[in-house]
Amino acid sequence: MAMATKIPARIPPSLLARSLSSASSIAEKLPKASSPASPAIDLSDTQRLFASVPTASLLHSLANLSAMAAGPLVDVGVAVLRAALASEGQLLRAAAIGVARATVHRHFCAGDGFEDAGRAVTGMWEEQGLRSILDYGMEDAEDSAACDRNLAGFLRTVEMASSLPPSSASVCIKITAICPISLLERVSDLLRWEQQDPTLRLPWKTNSIPVLCDSSPLYLTRSAPDPLTEMEECDLQLASQRLSKICEQCTEANIPLLIDAEYTSVQPAIDYFTYSAAVQFNHGNHPIVFGTIQAYLRDSKERMVNAVKAAEHEGVSLGVKLVRGAYITRETKLASSLGAPSPIHPSIQETHNCFNSCASFMLEKVRRGSGAVMLATHNVRSGQIAAEKATELGIGRVDRKLQFAQLMGMADGLTYGLRNAGFQVSKYVPFGPVEQVMPYLLRRAEENRGLLCTTTVDRQLIRKEILRRLATAVAWTT
């Protein structure tokens, strides 16, 4: 693939000056390979890492990541966008949407519609050798009508994915988009109370894979909930049918379906839906349905181990997407309001340790032919550890049961490093109109403050490559 070496004239000199500052010590700060004999991810050769990325795209990424790494700027920007979108003033709202489209939407999303997303996926597959995880950005349905509209969008996403190059895409959904939030809260309360009182009978419950453990935040349900009403049971059945329709279409097209994790107040119900679908559709060696484990939660390892063992007992191949987590502020505030300890690990290092431990456990299962894992991480060290562990266990790098993933617009150096090492790597690709995906975009902007370590590496790698290209361009003109 050809690589652009000339700096486009349309890039303002002031942007170059700001973006390339503090570059003299980059080489010393970049992650080093752990040892020549290991399959460590090599991030030192930026020419190879970014060979398929035009210089203008690198500059755009560097400018966006630098802006979003500035905490006060992010706080002000998020507050202004939220206020503008809530405003009844059409001009103000239009201006906010325009700003979002030109910044976070362009950086983190694949466009407004299905055609935009299809072109992005095909381009990443053909030009960069990367898979995509398509997420039609819909969240938090309030009623059945909204759930049905969201279902139609998800089904169209699967249909679009099936028309793309084989193996180039999977699909991601949120249960909160196909089941009303109020019902998910009610089901989660009942599941938490069942964990505290095993004699409780839940007549609507259809599988035995556990969704909670004794270390889970059971304090969220402090008294016995009322049973589901007849109408609630009917709505629960409708939500289950919606998920089954998506799973059936994914099964027919052989497209993996990734179900996102969300906040702890509704996560038990989400896991219940996920594992019920896994029992129904995960037959054979390659699971269709993947649940998500958030390693920043204290109970994540215990819940994951219990679920995997129960699935093995039932002959179900469990797919696990492992992430760190995305609702730190919300979880901390909720626990504090209840006078309870946070369900999140007290330090980032404990979260790293939990992620690496969970990854190791799942890699051992993959080696034994049980289940599959997608390791969604922006942490270079976690990527190196997992890559080395997979090679040590003899897991083939083209084995579909092991994949890595990063968000579109973030951790590109790690993405390309894993790809160059021969592993299967996907980018998480949200798409949809700006107004529709705004909850995702605002959360990305807010979360980026907690990912400064990762974005620092990203920015260093990009700066290094831009400087190399600039030096090359200057040398060619002299």
Task: Decide: 430 and 108 in contact? Cβ < 8 Å.
Answer: yes
pLDDT band at 85 (very low <50, low <70, confident <90, very high): low
Does the pLDDT at position 34 exceed 70? no
Distance, in Å, from the CA atom of 96 to the CA atom of 86, rounded to the nearest integer, reads 10
**% of the chain surpassing 70 pLDDT:** 87
Does the pLDDT at position 376 exceed 80? yes
Does the pLDDT at position 37 exceed 60? no
Mean per-residue pLDDT of the chain: 87
Report, as an integer, the average pLDDT of 406-433: 93
Q: What's the pLDDT at 73? A: 66
Q: What's the pLDDT at 91? A: 82
11: alpha, beta or left, given left = phi > 0 and alpha = psi -120 to 50? beta
pLDDT band at 106 (very low <50, low <70, confident <90, very high): confident
354-358 long-range contacts, CB within 8 A, separation 24+: 354/295, 354/296, 354/300, 354/301, 355/295, 355/322, 355/324, 355/379, 355/382, 356/382, 356/385, 356/386, 357/301, 358/293, 358/295, 358/300, 358/301, 358/304, 358/322
90: alpha, beta or left, given left = phi > 0 and alpha = psi -120 to 50? alpha
Query: Which tens digit of pLDDT belongs to each residue from 254-312?
Result: 999 999 999 999 999 999 999 999 999 998 888 999 999 999 999 999 999 999 999 99
Does the pLDDT at position 420 exceed 90? yes
Higher pLDDT pick, 140 / 144: 144
Task: Decide: 320 and 373 in contact? Cβ < 8 Å.
Answer: yes
pLDDT band at 220 (very low <50, low <70, confident <90, very high): very high
By CB atoms closer than 10 A (0-12, 13-18, 19+), residue 365 is: buried
Report, as an integer, the average pLDDT of 175-184: 96
Query: Which tens digit of pLDDT belongs to each residue from 235-248?
Result: 999 999 999 999 99
Q: What's the pLDDT at 68? A: 74
